[in-house]
Amino acid sequence: EPEVTQTPSHQVTQMGQEVILRCVPISNHLYFYWYRQILGQKVEFLVSFYNNEISEKSEIFDDQFSVERPDGSNFTLKIRSTKLEDSAMYFCASRLTVSGANVLTFGAGSRLTVL
Amino acid sequence: GNSVTQMEGPVTLSEEAFLTINCTYTATGYPSLFWYVQYPGEGLQLLLKATKADDKGSNKGFEATYRKETTSFHLEKGSVQVSDSAVYFCALTLYNQGGKLIFGQGTELSVKP
């Protein structure tokens, strides 16, 4: 069964450092997403991406965050200058279409720890 | 706005007990509804879904019926197993929201032998 692959599975970084989280979505999917889950809290939407541009972003997704699909297969989330409160599990997801019958497939997540 | 509310956890049950996890939603349109499960140390996996009123989603012995009149999508299982211990998330998506999922807060289930 096709799957979404995320790397790294766990990254530890110092506050103020740049972090790039990588995702390989399912190959024929067209819509891409990043979500995050702070420990013990709700899974929160960060950003959606379609046709090489951001479709929607949440208020969490400020100027410190950026996404890109540099080579047609990878989908990356960059945090320019990490803060302690960025510590969370980050999930990538992809979807073929936005039809209600079509589900998001999530990766296993990248755990980010900011010290 | 659009939102999902789940019953508070954690829920602790004995093996073979009946499970209900309540989920209600608020939506401006006609959402599709989902249950996702997160096993310890793993990512989110789709458990079941329903795309229109009165649809019943089912998988691995779990069921949920899309009730438009009560705006609910409660998750049920007749006989839980220790391996069902996980966090369960109710979620919705609307066609005009670009496929974005809105999650409930999650309900942790712990099943004891």
Is A29 touching B (CB cutoff 8 A)? no
- Average pLDDT, whole number, for chain A? 91
Q: Give me the phi and psi of B30, to 5 degrees please.
A: -115, 100
Can you give the pLDDT at residue A104? 84
Residues of A in contact with B94 (CB under 8 A): 100
pLDDT at A99: 64
pLDDT, position A48: 93
Q: Does A31 touch chain B (CB under 8 A)?
A: yes
Is a pLDDT exceeding 70 seen at residue B81?
yes
Contact between chains at A101 and B51 (C-beta distance less than 8 A)? yes
Contacts of A3 in chain B (CB under 8 A): none
Q: How confident is the model at residue B7 (pLDDT cuts 50, 70, 90)?
A: confident
Q: Taking residues A35-48, what's their average pLDDT?
A: 90
Alpha-carbon gap: A60 to the closest alpha carbon of chain B (Å): 15
Mean pLDDT, chain B, whole residue set: 92
Banded model confidence at residue A41, pLDDT cuts 50, 70, 90: confident
**CB-based contacts of A99: which residues, under 8 Å, 6+ apart?**
B95
Contact B103 A42 (CB under 8 A): yes
Distance from CA of B81 to the nearest CA of A (A): 23
- Distance (Å) from the alpha carbon of A44 to chain B's nearest alpha carbon: 7
Q: What is the mean pLDDT of residues A26-40?
A: 90
Q: Please give the pLDDT value at position B63.
A: 98
Two tokens at A14?
A: 């110092």
Average pLDDT of span B83-90: 96
DSSP β-bridge partners for residue A66:
A78
End-to-end CA distance of chain B: 41
User: In which residue are the tokens 């047609």 written?
Assistant: A72
Percentage, residues of chain A above pLDDT 70: 96
Q: Residue A26's beta-bridge partner residues?
A: none
Average pLDDT of span A12-17: 97
Residue-wise pLDDT for B22-70, tens only, equals 999 999 888 999 999 999 878 889 999 998 999 999 999 999 999 999 9
Percent of chain A, pLDDT > 90?
74
Instruction: Specify whether the CB–CB gap between A77 and A60 falls below 8 A.
Output: no
Give me the pLDDT at residue A100, please: 55
Q: Say if B99 is an interface residue toward chain A (CB within 8 Å).
A: yes
Do B113 and B27 contact (CB within 8 A), yes or no? no
Instruction: Tell me how far apart the alpha carbons of residues A3 and B35 are, in angstroms, rounded to a whole number.
Output: 18
How far, in Å, CA of B47 to CA of B34, rounded? 8
Residue B100 has pLDDT above 60, yes or no: yes
pLDDT at position B94 is: 82
CB distance B105–A104 less than 8 Å?
Answer: no
Nearest residue to B63 via CA among B50, B53, B52, B51:
B50
* pLDDT, tens only, A43-88: 999 999 999 999 999 999 999 999 999 887 899 999 999 999 999 9
Provide the strand spans (E) within B1-113: 3-6, 11-14, 19-21, 23-26, 32-38, 44-50, 56-59, 62-65, 75-77, 86-93, 101-103, 107-112
The shortest CB-CB distance from A91 to any of B44, B51, B102 is to: B44
